[in-house]
Every structure is written in C-alpha cells, then in structure tokens.
A and B are shown apart, each in its own frame.
Chain A
C-alpha cells in the first residue's frame, strides 16, 4: 500500500507517493524544472544544481535541489521565482562556458535564460554530470568507470586509466552523455565557441519570452509535458 502526501508546487496542489523526489513529482505533473545530472531510475546526487527550487517553511525560503528533496506533507515549493531564475541562469552560464560543444548544454543555457556568457569559453569534453558513472554502477553493476581526483582535477576515468576487462562495452555511458549530442552545425572549432542555443533564432525567441520551451533533447528523454 503506497502512502501519499500532499504538497504545493507553484501554487498547485499535488498528490505524490512518499519517497519520491520533488523533481520527479514536478516532472510528472508537467512542471519543467531544468536539470542535467538527473536520470530517471538512477540515483540523484545533486551535482549540477540546476534543479534548485525554493522551499518555503516558517515564513522563510531555502534554496535546495529538488532532486535530493523528498516530498513531505504540506511542503510548499516554488520552482520559478525571480531569485531561482537568476541563480539557475548563472549556473547554466557557468556550464555552457565550460562545455559549449554540446546541444544539450546549449539547450539548457537558453532554456534558463542565458543571453550572454561573461567568461572565456573553455572546451571541456565533460560536464561531470555523472550520468555515465551512475548507469555503469547502478544499471549494470560493472563499475568500470568512476570519478577520480578532486576539485578541478575531478574527471571520469577507468581504473588506472585503462579500460578493464569487466567493462561490458554496453555503450550506456555514451548514450547518456550530454556531450555526444552535437549541435546541428557540428562541433565548434577551438576559439570559436559561442552561445548558440541550437540556433540564433532560438536565442531571439527566448530573449523576448523567457521560459519558452526550446524542445530540448533532454526534454525528449524525460517525456517533458511541453515536448510533445
């Protein structure tokens, strides 16, 4: 017998099974909360910080990631306040400056309202979202890759940098990787990185109407209600 709780998200009363995350529940109800490191059916660890929401309690609001927050009775959640939009936009700006060479990341940046990038672009080939690591460990139990190193040295690697024989070569890691989804113009040359947001036309639209759905590839993956 599943237990249900009732909470409020963006003013709407929502009934959800106990033990689910606020993010999962919101997505099910068609409320698009941008996210990157969340993958349905894999554990959540709150790394990308895009899914932040405001939790209002005792008259005070606290910013927290919705993927790690479990639903509770009488919880009051706000996903789209001005404060949250600004914070999310800044995080997305940091992400796209790190990894512009990914349609998924560019989509997220535009979806979050990034119109200019104030940092020099770098062309890192990894967002450290951990989707590959988690699918390898949790879906297949192979544990052939993992996070190695600390801080800015953190990267994904095989043990000792060599593919072990227990890697099943299932390619799940590649299929989930946001970097493998390339922009339609192909990879950007070094030094020519820019905010492209799928294409310049998309940028013009979201500038005028923020929160416009950009039909991003991630949304396709989680069956977002807007991406029909």
Chain B
C-alpha cells in the first residue's frame, strides 16, 4: 500500500498491519509467515513431553542472542533444571544473564505453603515489572501458569488472574509465549480452554504414537490478523534446538535440472540420454533380487570417482553387509569411503519417528554437503509408521535436496502384488524425474534380468525393454541401440 499523506494518523500507526517477531526457531517462522505477533500473547499448548517449555526457551535464547532481552517466568521448573536442559542444546543461560539479555524467575510455590483466604497474582506481577524494567525485556515466556493458578482452587478466579496477567503483558508491549498443558482429560482441557480465545496466536504441540513409533507434530490453530501454514508439521529436537519441518512452497524453490551425471554404467547413460540429471530424483524399482542396490552402488562409485560427495542412507542393511555383498559384482565401496567422499548412514526405519529421521538426514547434509544422495530403500520407510509417514519423510527429504541442488537416487522394493502402474506405492511420482523398472522374467532355463525406463523428464530416453547382466565387473546391458524412442 502506498503511503497516504492525507491521512497521517494511519501512516504513523499502521493499524492494519500485524507486526511480527521472528522466533528464530528453525522452520517456525516459515509456518507463521514471519513469526509470532509482536506485543501480544502466543499460546504453546500441548501434553506432557510435547516440547512446550523447550520451544519457549529457544524463543528467549534466540532473542537474547540477537539483542532482544527476555524473561523466563516458570511456575514449574527449578532454575537449575532449566539451565541443564538449556545446556543440552548448547545454550549458556548464565552467560546471557550476565549480558543482561535474560532473566530467570522460578516462581515455584513451596509445597508446604499454608493457604488462608483469598490472594492474587500481584506479587509476581511486581517482580515481573521490576525485571522487565531492569533488562528492558522485549520477550516473556510464562511457563506452566496452571501449576500456580491451581492454588486458587476456583476457576472463575483463575480466569480473572490470567486476564489480569494478560492485560499487564499487553500493556507492557512485550511479546509473550505462554505454555499451557493440554491433557487428554477433558475436564482439565476445558478448564483452560478460554486461553485459546484470549491469545492472538495458538500453537498446538502433539506427541503421538502411531504403529508403535513416536512422532511429534506442530499445528497453528489460530493467528489473528495473519495467514499461516495450516497443516500439521513434524518437528523434533536437534542438538541445537527445535526443528520444524514444513514442506516449503512446493517446488517453487527447486533448482532446475542440470547437466548429466554418469550412472556408473556407460550403457545405461546412453539409454537415459546421458545419465541422471543433476538435481533430479531417480527411482529404481523392482522386486527382491532384481539388482536395485547394485545400480545404486554403481552410481555411488561413479559420483565418488568424479571427486564428488555422496550420502548413502540405508534402511535395510549395515555397511559391512553392503560392502561384502557388493564384492561379487565387483563394486568395492571401501576405498570410496576411505577417500572421505562416501558417507554411509544405516538406520532401522522404526527406530525413530520421521522428524528424527529427517533431522538426522538434514544434519548429515548440512555437515557433509553431498552433491548426491541415495535412499535404499524407500519401501522400508513405511516402517516409520505408515505409508503416509513414508510419504511425509520422502517428500520433505526430496524437497530439501531439490532446493539445494542435490541429486537423489531412490530404490524401491516392490512386492509381487504391486502392479507396475503403482511405481512407488507411496505416491511420490510427482517429485520423481526418472523411473527405472527392473524385473526378473522367468524363462525355460532360469531368470532373465530386464530393465526399462518408464520416464525421464526433459530427456529423450529408450522406451524399450533391455536385458542386463550383473557380472563380476558391474552391470552390463545388452541389445543397445540409440535412444530413438522406439
């Protein structure tokens, strides 16, 4: 909107604009389209262990580090315990306090305190007021006020006191986060439901178990005067804080497909019209024993031979098992690993939720900076919970790679009941650029290995079925013709 000189009041106040404060929490500002509402209250609501306090603490730490002082008022935790939790993420609270950018107030009521008659929150307000003035606080985290309010033993009074606190915070113009417990107990939930209406922004944190795998989800329930990401987003904790993993403005920021990288098999490069394109996503799919991993390893060795880095995420076998299996087709992975350009991570899919798998992959990508990534096999990702979990994991991982120009290569194990139309079984086809299908065809005297290229975006490729062999010096493809499309 262009400024209107005839209406100076409007210009000065900009009443139509919601101003936001960046939380500095990885991924959260993206979901909130900038941050939490400035000068008002945001509610972090969730059950036990959902990460409310840590997310609030990170908001203060990120603020304190960027010169925006904050106060942590907790009614539940001891100061020492908080310092320890913070230390786990590499945050030195004492240092931030010395700099005058952070103040901790632990307002734990002694359990043996005696109650006699009515009281109110003015004591804590005066303490808050002084601290706020002392450090010129811009951010406040109110942690677990319910613990304290329960002392009042009267719902109407609890509400009145929270309104008093809210009014004061708004009056001070500080940006506040408040954690509130959201229990499965409906009585308890309705107890503090009014907070959802009072706050300008409400974020639900959820820890759930699906098919025996624990996962964390974050959802913005409301945001007065602002748009926001409306989905549930997986989130988790890294060694430096909270990490929320939204799917970004899908593919808008994906880099264009680049030059061709050799698949490690010269004949296959010819069929593909050059090889796998940089930043593309290739899927190789087939039933058990069709040679998917051998194709993956051929590619891995080729990448490393060209002096580039490859990250190999394996959900099916260990490094030792893989290297010994690859000796027979003549693929020696050990020197590649020793060169430092091949990094191998092996994990059981069910060992953690998708957010933890993603964070692990993102951190490895951040640290190792690979130019190519292999996921072997995406079918195993279903064991992270469900086909939908696998989809969430892979979509985010591929999205992350495509934004960074990383070439991805996925293997997929199909079962006999899968139809050939169903390429992945996980419905990823929109982000996949190249699909190679492998199969073992029964003949009179055994099995014949066959390969076909179902699609390869932006390249002319062979559309024929080709026979191939796994020899002691890698893969050899028969019946070669130029990619004439016939």
Say if A and B assemble together: no
